[in-house]
Amino acid sequence: MPVQKTMEVRGSGMIDAMGPWWWDAFQHNKQSLAAGRPNLIQFVHCQDVEITGVLLKDSPFWTVHPVFCDNVHVHHMSIRAPMYAPNVDGIDPDSSSNVVVEYNDISCGDDHIAVKSGRCGLGNSWLDGTNCEEDQRFAAGVFKLSNLTIRYNTFRIGMGIALGSEISGGVENVNIHHNVIGLCEHGHEDPNKSCGWGHAFHIKTTLTRGGYFRNVRFANNVIYNNTGFVFIETDYQSNFQKPPPYPTTEIKNVSILGNSAIGMAHAMTLGCSKYMPCQEITIQDNWIDSSPTSDIYHCSNITSYKVEGNSPLGLEECMRNSAPVVVHNNATAGIKLG
């Protein structure tokens, strides 16, 4: 497909996508949606993309979706959709490179940001999409997402920043810093004034999608009143089933640094896979205020880590006890870095 260059959406107006009709059809009359639901803005195979100034309201599905794009700048714009609007993400960079998302104000029904890089597996279910081994584009890097910066944004109602779960092409070099997540008027009584829900930072994949997360940094963010601070989930929607021969997602070199999380129901769950344990996980200088009745930390299957300066205490012990019983790919269990 030819690459389209210099694509812009700019101005001070509003684009209202009339989402309620689509949401109602999705929930009560799916047969009327044979072609699915559209994104509000989708760029495909474009270079030098800019979206700025506009208010995007009530998308039927994901709001902004750049796919196979290079050099994307989304800044100084707003997204609005009500709490629980089905699958209404804010911005979903997908199989693209050199993307900057900054100075935006987003309130939406699902993930504020969802980072994607294609979906494959055995190719025999809706979870898997196409067969990874038969579609050589995944191995060739066609679906890879690389060089993404998310900074200086205000995220209000919504489910935070997610990497995945469509991750088969691989994600690398992601820098998420100095965002405010979950800013709101206190309370859940009015869905238009609710805080964030879900986890502020969510790495999610299934046991069949392959791909990788590498060189990911989540630093100096402030989180208010979310369900949780950090969640690494390697069995998303797959119910702990043993994976097929296709490899499990690799999670390597993830840094969580200098964040402040206030009013969390849960603190941190690092649910790495026993089939491919996480490596080089660095968690330093984070301050977490969570519910006094919650278990602060949950860790599993982490083979190498560096932990220091976090409050409350207990993460070091959690990491030390997380080493898998069976070690794969010649990794060494339970190594403390530094």
* Residue 328 banded pLDDT, cuts 50, 70, 90: very low
The per-residue pLDDT for 210 is 87
In this predicted structure, the answer to whether residue 314 has a pLDDT above a threshold of 60 is: yes
Kindly write down the DSSP assignment for every residue of 295-337, as one continuous string: --EEEESB-EEEEES-BSS-HHHHHHTT--SS--TT--TTEEP
Report the SS3 class of residue 193.
coil
The per-residue pLDDT for 120 is 82
Q: Among 84-98, 147-161, 174-188, name the one with the lowest average pLDDT.
A: 174-188
* Residue 227 banded pLDDT, cuts 50, 70, 90: confident
pLDDT digits (tens, 9 = 90+) for 30-42: 999 999 999 999 9
Distance CA 239, CA 177 (A): 32
Per the confidence metrics, is the pTM higher than 0.95? no
Single-letter code of the amino acid located at 239: N
* Residue 294 banded pLDDT, cuts 50, 70, 90: low
> How many CB atoms are located within 10 Å of the residue 127 CB?
16
Is 135 a catalytic site residue? no
The per-residue pLDDT for 201 is 97
274 sits in the region (left: phi over 0; alpha: psi -120 to 50; else beta) called: alpha
The per-residue pLDDT for 326 is 44
Active-site option among 110, 111, 128, 235: 110
The answer to whether residues 270 and 278 touch, using CB atoms and an 8 Å cutoff, is yes
The per-residue pLDDT for 245 is 66
Distances (CA, A) of 47 to 43, 123, 153, 176: 9, 31, 23, 22
Distance CA 115, CA 169 (A): 11
Distance CA 34, CA 331 (A): 47
Single-letter code of the amino acid located at 96: S
If one compares 5 and 104, the residue with the highest pLDDT of the two is 104
The per-residue pLDDT for 47 is 97
Query: Span 176-193, mean pLDDT?
Result: 76
Average pLDDT, the chain: 89
The per-residue pLDDT for 136 is 85
The per-residue pLDDT for 297 is 93
Single-letter code of the amino acid located at 240: F
Q: How is residue 276 annotated by DSSP?
A: B
Query: Span 245-272, mean pLDDT?
Result: 90
In this predicted structure, the answer to whether residue 251 has a pLDDT above a threshold of 90 is: yes
